[in-house]
């Protein structure tokens, strides 16, 4: 496995649950078949969309093991798996990483510890990520998502310093939506040295323009072929076509993210026959047709395009 994850699109997969809230592994694997056909560069498990905070340690390990085994069975044994391993302490974060590695993970995605927000000054963040990186058995990617970390927003300066000082820090996912920050980070490293990932589909094309490594985006759960097509248009210099499709994707992504992880599952169930819209409490359960028409309309339109691109 390369030190830096391969460039491209990575869906942060949702975790499906049965009615008793046990993990619905069959639906998870069916979903993986869907995104792999779409040409994704790798998979992300146990991120925000995957309800990582709702999973127990043994469930996390079993999920990674089953996904790795399934990738072998369908002829993609080397497809990289990035696993969310964030926790409130250095000790538990490293435990998550060790367990993920033993289960078959290739990289760890690590959030800032959000329980003690006042401790997470730039120096506090450098200390936390540096200690994790130096002891981690897996290369790690910093995960910057202020909405789920009590407003902690890691600066480009801090990320660049960490990436230069700790070679086991190989990338970052920016769900903060700051394209300027992504540009500053990516351009501070030689090509292939550090992986800057866009964290939302609504700025996929701008991220490609500034030379980002790829995208880890929730909408790729449903529309991997669309993301691949935007990327293809850009690579081929078809900027007008890329802008047109990106505009539609931006509207659809906004709607899908507004209905959240449970809504993503409800969408996958409605359109692709994967599982149900069941979340693990305190999340509820949803049916796609329960959502307002103004949210469903851009999702419907994008799904039509996805199916056309996929040949279905």
Which residue is listed with tokens 């000054």? 121
Alpha-carbon span 32 to 36, nearest angstrom: 6
Q: Is 229 a catalytic residue?
A: no
Q: Is the peptide bond before 282 cis (omega within 30 degrees of 0)?
A: yes
- Residue 216 annotated in ligand binding: yes
Catalytic residue among 16, 107, 145, 173: 173
Name the DSSP letter for residue 18. -
Give 73's contacts (C-beta < 8 A, 6+ positions apart).
none
Annotated catalytic residue within 16, 143, 233, 288? 143
For the question of residue 143 being annotated catalytic, the response is yes
* Cα 253 to Cα 98, 212, 256, 272, 310, distances in angstroms: 33, 19, 5, 17, 19
In sequence order, what are the beta bridge partners of 142? 110, 172
Residue 174 CA, chain-centre distance (Å), reads 10
Q: Is 287 exposed, middle or buried (0-12, 13-18, 19+ CB in 10 A)?
A: exposed
**Strand 107-111 relative to strand 81-84: parallel, antiparallel, unpaired?**
parallel
297 closest CA partner among 246, 259, 252: 252
Please say whether the beta carbons of 208 and 233 come within 8 A.
no
Structure token digits, residue 256: 């899908």
Q: How far apart are CA 27 and CA 63, in angstroms?
A: 12
DSSP 77: T
* Active site members: 143, 173
Residues comprising the binding site for pyruvate? 216
């Amino acid at each position: 496995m390369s030190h830096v994850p391969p460039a491209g699109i990575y869906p942060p997969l949702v975790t499906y649950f049965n009615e008793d809230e046990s993990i619905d592994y069959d639906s998870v694997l069916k979903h993986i078949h869907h995104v792999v056909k779409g040409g994704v560069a790798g998979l992300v498990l146990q991120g925000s969309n995957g309800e990582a905070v709702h999973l127990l340690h043994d469930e996390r390990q079993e999920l990674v093991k089953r996904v790795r085994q399934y990738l072998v069975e369908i002829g993609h044994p080397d497809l990289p798996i990035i696993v969310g391993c964030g926790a409130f302490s250095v000790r538990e974060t490293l435990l998550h990483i060790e367990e993920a590695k033993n289960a078959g993970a290739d990289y760890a995605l690590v959030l800032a510890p959000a329980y003690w927000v006042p401790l997470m000054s730039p120096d506090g963040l450098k200390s936390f990520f540096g200690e994790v990186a130096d002891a981690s058995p897996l290369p790690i990617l910093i995960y910057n998502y202020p909405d789920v970390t009590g407003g902690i927003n890691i600066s480009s300066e801090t990320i660049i310093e960490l990436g230069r000082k700790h070679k086991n820090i190989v990338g970052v996912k920016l769900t903060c939506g700051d394209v300027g920050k992504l540009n500053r980070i990516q351009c501070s490293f030689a090509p292939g040295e550090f992986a800057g990932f866009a964290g939302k589909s609504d700025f996929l094309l701008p991220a490609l323009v500034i030379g980002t490594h790829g995208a880890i985006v929730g909408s790729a759960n449903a529309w991997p072929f669309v993301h691949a097509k935007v990327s293809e248009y850009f690579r081929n210099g078809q900027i007008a076509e890329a802008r047109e499709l990106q505009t539609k994707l931006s509207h659809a992504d906004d709607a899908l993210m507004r209905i959240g992880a449970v809504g993503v599952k409800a969408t996958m169930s409605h359109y692709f026959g994967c599982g149900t819209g069941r979340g693990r409490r305190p999340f509820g359960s949803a049916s796609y047709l329960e959502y307002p028409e103004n949210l469903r309309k851009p999702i419907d339109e994008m799904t039509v395009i996805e199916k056309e691109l996929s040949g279905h």
